[in-house]
Structure 1
């Protein structure tokens, strides 16, 4: 029946292609009653008893395994053998896929067969797809089949056949999706199926884990954190109507069991993946999210999406691990009208209470990170602006970090934010010199028994979230962060060196050197590292700091930096960032002809100044006592300055021959260097654990493991 429908679809008008699922989709994203009536009486999954594979079949697949694994053969021969073996599996798919040993053979067959045999196998499994997907061995078989389908999608001639196959499977799943959604193996299969329909990699960590590096970057940086605007929204959708069908009908079928689905760790992950993949499709999200939240969708047209009776229940649900993760995604993808309603009805006046909870504080972080207007920031500030010290003492530094980043992103409450953080860290009668050290060792300071006698601890790793807070602070306008500048420039030489070697501390040093602080203030810090630039240059974290120091330095300091790197050229060439650093600073040129190196530096500085005076923004002038490289990236116009620097580098590459060899010519190669593997290594897992909760995702410490 499914195949006949699909054949009819192939010649139909694309505007009515949604009819292939047995009904039309209305404006709310819900399919019409024709399909609902067909599945009005769901077939509940019975307990699955694994059948024994008969000896003759076992022997056959053992021989097949030896044939395809023990000998070399060309692709066509292998495809024929795999296809014939899958034909022999007809009618026995469940028994074979759930057999621990034979399932491995089936995986090899599915990877090597043609798309016709692959789709045939999946269609034969359709009625028992849920049973196979919920089995420990069977789940690997169907995931292998889905990955093989994704590979065959590279040939556009296969799209219709693959869509027919996936449609057959999806129709069987949505009859009763609750069991497979709540199963640890079935949940992963469903997420892979959703990803396949959307056209994203099936093993993408962004859709299979509770935290993604991109989400963390959006939360704690100044990037606009809208899921619809990211790379996922720009991907080619493989089967958009099938994705909408599967996502919508799973919700409609599971509506009665939603109280269970939204708090179960496995079904929560399916719902999270579904919402992420539907990002940007406002009508579908306006229909889906209220269902997940336990609200009626009848009032959607009137704009009353969140019922008042559901508010208190939602607040208590945010203390559940699975639902708190789900709520984070909801806030991330929610259309503006729904986000505003959630903000006002659910979160207003409850932010500090939620922040106090080990699960709820992550939801607050998501809410703050996706705030869109200064009016929303005002409401957030009313609840949390005076609570910085309380939050830090409770270990909720992630909430503070999100709030600082949001103030910087929306240019709202920047001055008050800096003052509030300083007041939480440093008493009125204390010197501001203590601010940066205490933020760098945030937990160490706040959990110490004698705070009044706290000193810089030796050999202690610097706090990830504290580092992120300071990085955001140093992106604020210079007039708001004078106490932080005083503090960081007052660090002892040994402390600056230790910070430069620490993965978190070095980023704070670099953030300061890229800030709006004056060149004189930056050089005050750079001087403290004199005599240690060679040591830092071969260090995995310090090499980036050396480059920032060079950019911020004057002529004499630059000469001192490069002179310390000359004896280490051989060692630097063996490190990851070393070759780039050698080219950028022209260490070899300095070693051979120091006088010409100085001339090239002077000429470059002069050319940059002339270019800047001619084409730079009128509101920012380059004074004689400031290094252009130190002050080029002014925060007031970051995007314009980046474009200008590209134009400058391009212009200077044309005048390089006038200065003899080299140094300016190297500027043209910087782009290659940056693209070829000079990205700074970051520990994603560590960032995910530390960045958002001030020492780990406490929701998951007891028993939770999603994948």
Structure 2
């Protein structure tokens, strides 16, 4: 498999780099059996390839060569497994392209079973989704494994069709009243609807889902069934109640009645949540009879339940202890308590109860969350009992004790994380003992004797003087540092494409690299924090992070827990944290899809990376406001926000500074040494990430005042972070809230617009300063793009209207104005054009074309103000007469007037302007087309051979507003000059675009015009690739067959009914001619290809010339390879004047 993957990569690389050596002439797979090649393709592509990705799955094979393309198109098993992803919701053109591609995939799969996934942007509804589901239903008889992530309304065609033959539905979101669905086939159900179902409806679902193993339900308390239901295979149940407590109705009794009605013989994990508002706000509310029923239910699970999570149940500490007494077999316990259920010493009593008597002797993991303070003495007593008491004598292991300490306002004061293990060599206990030995004499003897050896009380500031801020966790040993230098050198070699291609083909490179990485990770164990803060080793950890698998990443991130507040502010460790957040996106995406690695449970529970990121954020919440302004931590916070809210990435500045990016570039490629199958997979962030990102915004709101927030905008360190926070705020629909961050930066403008949309407040000097400041102007660009529509209208009227000439010519403010012009409506755009009439010439002279480009793009989007745009362009370039209009394209490309047009280079700004002008609605783009048609062919060829100028010609062919007649005239204008056009690296690409656009008639005219230039094209370094598309040999001898072939290529794939004849099929049916074996000393791969391709192929029709490997001696490496290819091509070509018994009609 690795051989053909490398061949695919090499062939694409050769074509993109215009390498004269083509893969089709080197590796002719036509000689291999079709079944073997098809199976190789199937293994390389894998399952669930993404539709719409040019480099994914069988689409990659279509771009290699004609033989591979034909075989891939006629192998149905390559096309029956796919993913359709509409996240985020694409534009109309992209949507039509996805649907068209989906139809092609389904047609190519023929009658094979279908395995597909549909992902839509929830809860957004679009009629496109319904059309997609309706089309998929046409092939419902072939559905085998289907996953639907969609809005309920999008699946209406499915419900209307009744029970469909679907074997597996992973996740569905719908309104299921009166729904007929085969629930018996469901093994996993995660039901979370905006309109909450009742417990009665959940009971009906469970009654039908007899094979359910994992279930998550969120429901309102309404239950009327009086029968008992057994769910025989259910192992994991999560049930959360929602609603409002009603006077006189004990909803907890209804809740417990539902649980009591369930018989769960194999249940191992149970989560019970209570999200029912109390009858009186801000008053404690506790269950009475509900607790007794809960204890009775838990007693029925005794001996089988291992994990229990009680979230916000209104239980006091005594009631909670009663629940624990009912299930002594627990290994994992999580208890969340609301801030309303505050008891003076509740957690102390709970921990002491666990320490004084073995309520849960097998406990491995305990997590307490709430609004109470737990004293260190209670933790010490609890852990002392573990180390010296009954727990130790019973050889029980406690993995984690985590307690969140919150003040009365709910703000986190500190996070205590104590990790114990009798098997792990790098436990916190050994580390603390090592630290205590290094600080001998700093603690009183009496205190040292009363506390366990691994507990170190908080040090006073004077006692911490010995800690070096450059190495807060200690220095790395010299031998360890030398070892990791060798690791860095080895990984660099593997990441170098030249080195990776020269590996021994007899050894699996991935296995060797995996063993090497495991050895490095083993050496890193226990030294993660020291290595992260070391100036030499931190970059090695970053390089290794890209090659870690999901399990190792979780272990690495977990090893740093409790220290992130220090690490993110460290000069070197901050970059390690940033890299971790960057690579964590892939792991989190897989975890959301349920792709989890096998985790050994002998060392305790290992949290998922999603949960680790959330816990890490909990650790950073108390110090977040200071991290925003920290020079080392700010870029880490931006990477974290990008992980939590990736939707805001498109509108935000780059995470790394120019200095950091330049330094990173010198370190070589930072990428995985392994090939990841789903490296390009993307998905929306988990719901918990959305809430966590929201909390970051709320912390800044609560801890910083309005003036402090505005001060961040001008700070070079804090401004990019504030920009990302504003983007998160906009994504979360929080900008309209009172005193939002955006409202603070806009000095109350959003609040004013909401109170009185017609009022125009006085201009603020602060915002006028932001417009012209190099640092804060980026922030204002984000605000202009993301602020509400009513606020933008006021912002435009107050700060832009009337000041456009000064802003357009300002070196900084012109960028903000260009961003604002992207949101104006037609009247505002017309007023802006009139106000800038006398300024266009000045902004062209200063090469500040952003405002003009934004104006043109907005006019094209609104399909308005076309005449004003023509006038603006004429004014900007001083074009008045018809003769001068013919020089429009050279003037715009060089940003010069006709009087100045003598010498000058084509500019990128000018090329971008012309591309925007070509997208204007007809007839306002006609003056650009006329200018192009009036240019001499020498000038057009110069434009086509320029990297920036050629994009203008691409825009002419791509623009939907350019008439078809003008496009055909442009293609025909190169007749007689195509050989000069394609004899260039850039020009050959333009020639390919013209050929792809042409119909059969135009292609024949182009091809016949190049018959006289056939030898010229054959000798051209770049033109020979264009000549292969022409197939001039077939055109001259059998023109009808040539036209048929070109027509079939232009025809959409879904209309093809006949299987075209390909080289592979001909090879299978071709006659074999045995030759004597040649002497050779090649390796196994050469022998494989030599044996497979030693059969001559009948050439009834002209195809790409293929070199017979057997015609070239493999043992003589000193012969010229190019000469050997030429000789092979001559031998393979049909000989003229010789009779070979050809068939009649050839």
What displacement does 1:298 show?
6.4
* Residue in structure 2 matched with residue 502 of structure 1 by the alignment: 946
Is the CA contact (8 Å cut-off) linking 2:631 and 2:717 kept in structure 1? yes
1:152-171 alignment, distance < 5 Å:
152-153=587-588, 154-155=590-591, 156=594, 161-171=608-618
Deviates more, 1:482-491 or 1:590-599: 590-599
* Corresponding residue SS for 1:123: coil
CA offsets, 1:194-218, max 9 Å, x none? 122235899999742699xxxxxxx
Q: Is the alpha carbon distance of 1:163 and 1:12 closer, same or farther for their aligned partners in structure 2, counting shifts above 3 Å?
A: farther
Is the CA contact 1:139–1:189 (under 8 Å) kept in the aligned structure 2?
Answer: yes
Q: Taking structure 1 as reference, are residues 22 and 66 closer, same or farther at Cα in structure 2, changes over 3 Å only?
A: farther
Paired with 1:427 and 1:149, the residues of 2 have a C-alpha distance of 55
Picking from 98, 118, 121, the partner of 2:533 is 98
Q: Aligned pair 1:466/2:910, yes or no?
A: yes
| Corresponding position of 1:187 | 634
Q: Which has the higher strand share?
A: 2
Residue of structure 2 in register with 1:475 after alignment:
919
Give 1:361's aligned residue.
814
- The CA distance in 1 between the partners of 2:774 and 2:927, in whole Å, is 39
**1: CA distance, partners of 2:977 / 2:410:** 72
Asked whether the equivalents of residues 385 and 417 of structure 1 are also in contact (C-alpha less than 8 Å), the reply is: no
Quick one: distance in 2 between partners of 1:242 and 1:305?
36
Q: 2:409 — aligned with what? A: 34
Equivalent residue in structure 1 for 2:733, among 240, 264, 282: 282
Counterpart of 1:208 (choices 655, 671, 678) is 655
Match of residue 124 from structure 1: 562
After TM superposition, the score normalised by the length of structure 2 is: 0.42
- What's the TM-score once normalised by structure 1's chain length? 0.65
Q: For residues 65-104 of structure 1, what are the structure 2 equivalents within 5 Å? A: 65=484, 82=521, 85-87=524-526, 93=529, 97-104=532-539
Query: 3-state SS of the aligned residue for 1:175?
Result: helix
Distance in 2 between residues matched to 1:300 and 1:22, nearest whole Å:
37
Q: 2:575 aligns with which of 134, 140, 152?
A: 140
SS of 1:124 mapped into structure 2: coil
- Of 453, 459, 469, the residue aligned with 1:49 is 469
The answer for the alignment partner of 2:694 in structure 1 is 244
Pairwise CA distance, 1:544: 3.7
CA distance in 2, matches of 1:511, 1:410: 19
Aligned pairs, how many?
563
User: Does the CA-based 8 Å contact 2:804-2:836 persist in structure 1?
Assistant: yes
Give the Å deviation of 1:501.
0.9
1:266 aligned residue: 717
Q: Deviations over 1:67-104 (max 9, x none)?
A: 97899989699669846854466xxx4x6533323545
Superposition deviation, residue 304 in structure 1? 7.0
Structure 1 residues 500 and 175, CA, compared in 2 at 3 Å: closer, same or farther? same
Q: Per-residue deviation at 1:406?
A: 0.9
Shift of residue 476, structure 1, vs aligned partner: 2.8
Q: Kindly state the Cα deviation for residue 401 of structure 1 after the two structures are TM-superposed.
A: 1.1
Q: 1:331: how far off? A: 2.3
1:673 matched residue in structure 2: none
**How far is the alpha carbon of 1:407 from its aligned partner?**
0.4
Aligned pair partner of 1:327 in 750, 770, 780: 780
Structure 1's 117 and 524: CA in aligned 2 closer, same or farther, altered over 3 A? closer
Question: 1:337 maps to which residue?
Answer: 790
- The answer to whether the 8 A contact 2:484-2:540 is kept is yes
For structure 1, the 5+ residue unaligned runs are 1-6, 25-31, 212-230, 608-644, 667-707
Shift of residue 249 of structure 1? 1.9
Residues 378-419 of structure 1, C-alpha deviations (whole Å, 9 max, x = no match) = 343343355422332332212111111110111110122123
Secondary structure, counterpart of 1:34 in structure 2? coil
Contact 1:317 1:324 in 2 (8 A): yes
Whether the 8 Å CA contact 2:807–2:817 is kept in 1: the answer is yes
Residue deviations 1:622-653, cap 9 Å, x none?
Answer: xxxxxxxxxxxxxxxxxxxxxxx99x523663
Higher helix share: 1
CA deviation string 1:489-547 (max 9, x = no partner): 11112111111111222222343455666677656655654443123224232234324
> Which of 670, 678, 684 is the aligned partner of 1:235?
684
Instruction: Give the 3 Å change call, closer, same or farther, for CA 367–99 of structure 1 in structure 2.
Output: same
CA distance in 2, matches of 1:204, 1:161: 29
* Structure 2 counterparts to residues 539-578 of structure 1, below 5 A: 539-550=984-995, 551=997, 555=1002, 557-563=1005-1011, 566-567=1014-1015
* Cα deviation, residue 65, structure 1: 4.1
| Alpha-carbon displacement from aligned partner over 1:281-333 (angstroms, at most 9, x marks no partner) | 32257523223344487668636799935633212211111211122222223
Match 1:397 to one of 849, 860, 867: 849
Give the distance between the partners of 2:611 and 2:742, measured in 1 at CA. 28
CA distance in 1, matches of 2:681, 2:783: 16
**Relative to 1, partners in 2 of residues 1:370 and 1:209: Cα closer, same or farther, differing over 3 Å?**
farther
Q: Residues of 1 paired with 2:1024 and 2:656: CA distance?
A: 34
Choose the corresponding residue for 1:653, options 1056, 1061, 1065.
1056
- Partners of 1:405 and 1:469 within 8 A in 2: no
Q: CA RMSD in A?
A: 5.1
Relative to structure 1, is the Cα distance of residues 427 and 82 closer, same or farther in structure 2, using a 3 angstrom cutoff? closer
The structure showing larger relative contact order (alpha-carbon pairs under 8 Å, at least 6 residues apart) is 1
Which residue in 1 is equivalent to 2:643? Answer: 196
Secondary structure of the structure 1 residue equivalent to 2:725: helix
Q: Deviations over 1:654-707 (max 9, x none)?
A: 47979xx99xx99xxxxxxxxxxxxxxxxxxxxxxxxxxxxxxxxxxxxxxxxx
Question: Aligned residue for 2:859?
Answer: 407
Whether the aligned pair in 2 keeps the contact of 1:233 and 1:280 (CA below 8 Å) is: no
2: distance between equivalents of 1:147 and 1:380? Answer: 42
The answer to whether the Cα contact below 8 Å between 2:652 and 2:723 also exists between their aligned partners in 1 is no
- 1:58 paired with 2:466, answer no
> Where in structure 2 are there 5+ consecutive unaligned residues?
1-237, 241-269, 277-310, 313-334, 341-406, 415-460, 491-510, 598-605, 659-679, 1067-1100, 1103-1146
SS of 2:798 mapped into structure 1 = helix
Kindly name which structure, 1 or 2, has the bigger radius of gyration based on alpha carbons. 2
